[in-house]
Amino acid sequence: MDFIYWPISAVLWFWHKVFAVPFGPDSAWAWILAIMFLTFTLRIILFKPMVNQIRSSVKMQQMQPKMQEIRAKYKNDQAKMMEETRKLQKELGVNPVMGCLPALAQLPVFIGLFHVLRSFNRTGTGRGQLGLSVEENRQIANYIFSPHDVQSFLDANVFGVPLSAYISMPDDMYQAFPTAIGLSQFRIMLVAVPLIVVIVLATHFNARLSVDRQEARRAAGKIAAPKDDQAAMQTNMMNRMMMWVMPLSILITGALWHIGLLFYMMANNVWTFFQQRYIFNKMDAEEAAADAAIREAKRATAPKPGQRPNNPKRKKK
């Protein structure tokens, strides 16, 4: 997995050097902003694929009536059903696999950042830990970060809580933070829990925005409603997973996340909030312009009031 850890640490290192100029290299804000701008860097790279994904999902919703017709027509012939489905997807320019890429691309970054942040403190003796002494840990580089950078990160803290601390961190790992006086699980929770709650709420409301828009478009007749109870149940289940299961999973696993990783997730949700609104407004404007062009074309070809319709066949007779 080094092919993930080195690039992640390099981008994080770059942004830390940028924010070290105004805040100082040992400032917690230099590290926090570096983590947040690592998030923004990824999301900028994935912006166009994300737009394509949302466009693809809209087309997928629009093609559901035809998909249901194909399923009903070829329910006893799976091979023919798949063939007709691929033909329809090609005709409408829909690629389900490409639609998953933005979400999949964020997963290795999350895993990579989790590992890099955890590797600043290698004094633990549990799984994946090196069991280093405090002195050894502070004198060994962490991927692209020099020993001085390691010391800087370990000493950076928010309200007395180090950025690489997490709620379920074993007590014997506290010794890696000599500047964090009186560090305890309760003190870590005072910083981590509010961040987790913000992330959970933001994840829920970002998902709700997408679901509410989908339902509004269905009510306006822009996408078809599910034709049967099974399709409606599947749609409802997917929407519930987006709005409730994903936030709940964050709430449960938040105790394993470092404070720095929580800032990553918070920045990710902030970006998603503004990005969704921008893309949805842009697509709504494009759709309104297309509808207006169609109406204008119909108006231009329609006969004027009092004018007889042009009928070439009648003239021929």
Q: What is the pLDDT of residue 3?
A: 82
Please check whether residue 171 lies inside any domain of the structure. Answer: yes
Please check whether residue 294 lies inside any domain of the structure. Answer: no
pTM of the model: 0.80
Residue in 259, 240, 260, 262 with CA at minimum distance from that of residue 250? 262
Q: What is the pLDDT of residue 288?
A: 83
Task: Answer yes or no: are the C-beta atoms of 36 and 259 closer than 8 Å.
Answer: no
Please check whether residue 311 lies inside any domain of the structure. Answer: no
**Tens digit of pLDDT for each residue in 102-126?**
667 778 888 888 889 888 988 887 6
Residue in 25, 3, 4, 8 with CA at minimum distance from that of residue 16? 25
Residue 311 DSSP class: -
Q: Where are the beta strands (DSSP E) in the chain?
A: 157-158, 161-162
Q: What is the pLDDT of residue 230?
A: 66
Q: Whose structure tokens read 């997973």? A: 241
Residue in 31, 108, 14, 46 with CA at minimum distance from that of residue 263? 31
Helices (H), ranges, 63-133: 64-73, 78-92, 96-118
- Structural domain range at position 104: 2-289
- Number of domains making up the chain: 1
Max intra-chain CA distance, the chain: 102
Please check whether residue 313 lies inside any domain of the structure. Answer: no
Contacts of 297 by beta carbon, 8 Å cutoff, 6+ apart:
none
Task: Answer yes or no: are the C-beta atoms of 16 and 58 closer than 8 Å.
Answer: no
SS3 for 158?
Answer: strand
Please check whether residue 302 lies inside any domain of the structure. Answer: no
- Print pLDDT tens along the chain (317 aa): 778 899 999 999 999 999 999 999 999 999 999 999 999 998 898 888 888 777 777 777 667 777 777 777 777 778 888 888 788 777 766 666 665 666 677 788 888 888 898 889 888 876 767 788 889 999 999 999 999 999 999 999 998 899 989 999 888 888 888 777 888 999 999 999 999 999 999 999 998 988 888 888 777 777 666 666 666 677 778 778 888 988 999 999 988 899 999 999 999 999 999 998 888 888 888 878 877 888 888 777 766 666 666 665 555 55
Please check whether residue 135 lies inside any domain of the structure. Answer: yes
**Cα angle for residues 207, 208, 210 (degrees, 5° grid):** 70
Task: Answer yes or no: are the C-beta atoms of 5 and 116 closer than 8 Å.
Answer: yes
To 10 degrees, what angle do helices 47-62 and 28-45 make?
Answer: 50
Cα distances from 263 to residues 28, 37, 254, in angstroms, run 12, 10, 12
The Cβ of residue 1 has, within 10 Å, a number of other Cβ atoms equal to 9
Residue in 145, 100, 125 with CA at minimum distance from that of residue 8? 145
Please check whether residue 148 lies inside any domain of the structure. Answer: yes
Residue type, 180: A
Q: What is the pLDDT of residue 29?
A: 94
Please check whether residue 180 lies inside any domain of the structure. Answer: yes
